[in-house]
A and B are shown apart, each in its own frame.
Chain A
Amino acid sequence: MSKLNSLAISENGFIFKPSTGESFTTNEIGLLIISFLKQGKTADEIINEITKEFDVDAISAGRDLYEYLDFLKREKMLD
C-alpha cells in the first residue's frame, strides 16, 4: 500500500499525486475505500464495512469496489 501513502489526499476528496503532478477527485465512499486500503484491509473486509454502514447489498458494493480498484491500478496508484 506504499503507493497510496505517497498521495496527498485532502478531506475534500482532492488527490494529488506528487510523482507525476496529476490530480484526481473522488467522493466520500471513494475516500473511505482509500482509507480502508491504507489500513491494509482486503476487498472482502472493505465490502463488509461498506454494507454495514451504508444501505447497499454486497453484490453492488463489490461490483463498485472492483471497478474502483481497477481505476486505481490503471492510474498506478495501487499495485
Chain B
Amino acid sequence: MSKRIYEHPVLRKVVEGIPNKFGSLKRLQPIATIDTVEIDSIISKYGSPVFILSEKTIRQTYRTAYRAFSTRYPKVQFAWSYKTNYLDAVCRVYHQEGAWAEVVSGFEYEKAIDNGTPGTHIIFNGPDKSDEDLIRAINNKSLIHIDHFDELYSILGLTDKLKERPQVAIRVNMDTGIIPQWDRFGFNYENGEAWNAINRILSSGTIDLIGLHIHIGTYITVSKAYATAVEKLAALANKTFDRFNVSIGYIDIGGGFASQNTLHGAYMPATDTSPSFDDYAHAITTAMIAADFPNNETPMLILETGRALIDDAGWLAGTVLANKRLADGKRSMVIDAGVNLMFTAFWYNHEIYPVHESSFQSEPTTIYGPLCMNIDVIRKNIDFPMMNKGDHFVIKRVGAYTMTQWMQFITYRPNIVMIDEKNNVHLVRKAEDKEVFRRQELVPEHL
C-alpha cells in the first residue's frame, strides 16, 4: 500500500483584521528549470550556490530595447555598461548584438579591448582616469567623457605630446526634477559650469568636442525627466554651434532604466509599475525629435542602460541550510547565499522561489544568508513555503551588479555558468579556491 503524501503540521493564530492566506498569499510556483535546463542538474555539477546566466534572455532583452529605440529614432547606439556585469562572456554577447563598450576604469577599459572592441567604440566615463589611461584612450580615439576640470586640464596637458586629437564629450549634471540630483558627476548646467567647460575645450583648438553626456540618476521611473534633460542638452548644443560653429555628434543619455526588481519600501511590485523600454523610448525619442538641434541635424542617441538589460538574465540557485524559530516565534530560514553575493538585497525585495514544490502551506519567513553577521538578510518577511535542509531555491533577476559588487568574505565566490541558446551549459567563471588566494598572498619570511 502506498503511503499518503506528508505535509508539515501547521497551526496558525488568526489575527482579526490582518489579511489571511486569501489576502496576502501569492502562491509561489516553484521554478525547476531555466531555459529548459534543470536547476538541480546545474547545482549537482557546478556546486551550490551558483550563478546562472541565460544567453537567450540577454539577447532577447537587448533586441527588445534596441527595437524600442531604433523604430522611433534614426541613429541609435547602445553601449554596454561594463560595471553592471563585466564577465567577458556577457560583454561579448552584447558586442555581438552590436553594443559598444561603456567603461569607467582602466581595468574595464582593458577588458573591453580584450573583448575585441575597437577603440573608437569605447566610451570612457567616470572620475578616475589616470594619465596612462587617458593616453591609451586618446591614441585609440576612444570617446572620453570628461567628468571634472582637473581631468580636462590633464587632457589639455597631454595634447602637446600626442599625435591624435582627443575625442571628448562632457558629462553634464542638471535639475531634471529627479531627487536626489546627481551633482557629484560632471559639470553643472544651471550654474554655467558646463558652458565654461565647453568654452575651455573648444578655445584650446587641440581637442574635438563630439558629444554631450548626461546620467540623471539610477532607477529612474519618471520618463519625463529624460525629456527635460534632452531639452537642456539641446540648448547647450545650440549655444556651442552659435559660438564655435561646432555640431555635437551625439547625445549620450546614460542609463538608469529601472529593472523589474521591487525596491524596499515600494507599495506595488515593480513588475506592475516599472516603465517598459517602449515607455522610455517614447519619452526620450519624442524629446530628441522635438528638440531643435543646430543645422536641423539629428545627433546620434547613445544609451548606456545596464541594469534593465541584464537583470532578468541572471539567476542565483542555492541550497537551504537550516530552518529556525526566532525568539518571538517567527520562522526563519538560512540559505547558503548571503549578502556577500547578493549585495543588491540591501535595496531590493528579491524574488525567491523553491525549485520544487515542498509544501502547500506557507508562512511569513525571514531568509538569512550564511555569514556570521546580523545584516546578512536576503529577504525580510516573505510569505514562503516550508523548505527542508538540502532543498534548492532560486532567486530571480540578479544579473545586474551582483557579479561585480560581490565580496570575497568568509568564503569563496562560486561558479558562474551561462546557458547558451541551444540550452548547453558553459562555465564562464570558475569558483575560487585556496590556490587563488595562495597566488595573491605573500608571507614575510619570518612568519
Contacts and interface: CB of A to CB of B under 8 A. Distances in A.
A and B touch in their complex, CB below 8 angstroms: yes
A26 B14 contact: no
Nearest to B14: A23
B361 A75 contact: no
B9 interface: yes
A48 interface: no
A65 to B, nearest CB: 7
A29 B401 CA distance: 44
Contacts of A32: 9
Contact of A65 (B9, B10, B329, B388): B9
B14 A64 contact: no
Contacts of B7: 27-29
A68 B4 CA distance: 20
Nearest to A50: B6
A15 B9 CA distance: 14
Given A27-B361, A53-B3, A55-B3, A64 B8 contact: yes
A4 B14 CA distance: 18
A interface: dominant SS = helix
B interface: dominant SS = loop
B11 interface: yes
Interface string B386-429: 00100000000000000000000000000000000000000000
Given A53-B3, A54-B4, A74-B329, A29 B14 contact: no
Contacts, number: 61
Contacts of B361: 27
A57 B197 CA distance: 74
B14 A67 contact: no
Interface in B1-36: 2-14, 20
B243 interface: no
Contact of A24 (B3, B4, B12): B12
A22 B325 contact: no
A71 B10 CA distance: 9
B10 A54 contact: no
A22 B6 CA distance: 28
A72 interface: yes
A54 B5 contact: yes
Contact of A22 (B3, B8, B10, B13): B13
Nearest to A57: B6
Interface of A: 15, 22-30, 32-33, 50, 53-56, 60-61, 64-65, 67-68, 71-72, 74-75
The 5 tightest CB contacts between A and B, nearest first, are A56-B6, A54-B6, A29-B9, A55-B3, A30-B9
26 contacts: A15-B11, A22-B13, A24-B11, A25-B12, A25-B14, A25-B20, A26-B9, A26-B10, A26-B11, A27-B9, A27-B10, A29-B7, A29-B9, A30-B9, A30-B11, A32-B9, A53-B3, A54-B3, A55-B2, A55-B6, A60-B6, A60-B388, A61-B6, A68-B11, A71-B11, A75-B11
Given A29-B9, A29-B10, 12 more contacts: A23-B13, A25-B10, A25-B12, A26-B12, A27-B7, A28-B7, A33-B9, A54-B3, A56-B6, A60-B388, A64-B8, A75-B11
